[in-house]
Structure 1
């Protein structure tokens, strides 16, 4: 089942991320998809802020994975847009199976490597400020999470 959330500002997107963070659990995987400038990194910033991470959050486009360990729980921020190799050689499963949260930008590029249970969020640009976020939970704990925050 898909759920829709309308974000009318950066603040709205960050608040949704903060609400999802409040329901976090070890091994959580959040997949973000949408065109450039749609709000994926803004979402990660809101999540990281709520997690207590004080470092500056930027898209890890050229690093592939940025690890933040200064919050309540480790956050692994991945951007697979430029991934050219087979994703299995990167060792994503090692990250998915840790007591941390993984947020993956451009996850549609590695569909075959994603865990079965995850939260998929698609960002659609409506206008300069408005985004429609389509949340699709895969697995019971993600369904429960979405129902508790929307």
Structure 2
């Protein structure tokens, strides 16, 4: 469990996480409304070198950005609850990009088996607790690296 006490610490978490990303990495963000999923997505985009303003793709569902070294796909699947619509997610998962998904539970049956889940739990004020759950060897390694790096600070 990673304790985040303010936006600066969330920024440090995003920087650590993003520095370990490779093409085709998939990150699923979990948390209640207002937990900080979009804020974390914006920070990830910033550290990937995205210059454009990153906002929630709630109405578009998917927004893609060009970063310095990697492309960044940001998805918000909240509006897909009870939807059977195929939006071609496979193409995004196979792209040489980092993909971050908010509300991934609404497309759970379409997700690749290997990914990193990030659970954000809100405490009082700005305090958050982040739990990382890895699916697959690639993400086990990434999870351990991030946790080790942040525990030494």
Whether TM exceeds 0.5 here: the answer is yes
List runs of 5+ in structure 2 lacking aligned partners.
Answer: 148-153
- C-alpha distance after superposition, 1:78-114 (max 9, x if no partner): 0000115225x11111100110010001112221111
User: Using the alignment, how far apart are the partners of 1:117 and 1:29 within structure 2?
Assistant: 8
1:1-150 → structure 2 map (5 Å cutoff): 4-84=1-81, 85-86=83-84, 89-150=86-147
- C-alpha distance after superposition, 1:4-39 (max 9, x if no partner): 111111221222111111011110000001111101
User: Using the alignment, how far apart are the partners of 1:15 and 1:106 within structure 2?
Assistant: 23
CA contact (8 A) 1:15 1:46 kept: no
Using the size of structure 1 for normalisation, the TM-score is 0.93
User: Using the alignment, how far apart are the partners of 1:59 and 1:10 within structure 2?
Assistant: 18
Q: Indicate the SS of the match to 1:82.
A: helix
Question: Which consecutive aligned stretches of 4+ in structure 1 deviate over 2 angstroms post-superposition?
Answer: none
Using the size of structure 2 for normalisation, the TM-score is 0.91
Aligned length: 146
CA contact (8 A) 2:24 2:97 kept: yes
User: Using the alignment, how far apart are the partners of 1:101 and 1:70 within structure 2?
Assistant: 10
User: Using the alignment, how far apart are the partners of 2:145 and 2:104 within structure 1?
Assistant: 24
Q: Indicate the SS of the match to 1:13.
A: helix
Structure 1 residue 141: Cα displacement: 0.7
Q: Aligned Cα RMSD in Å?
A: 1.1
List runs of 5+ in structure 1 lacking aligned partners.
Answer: none
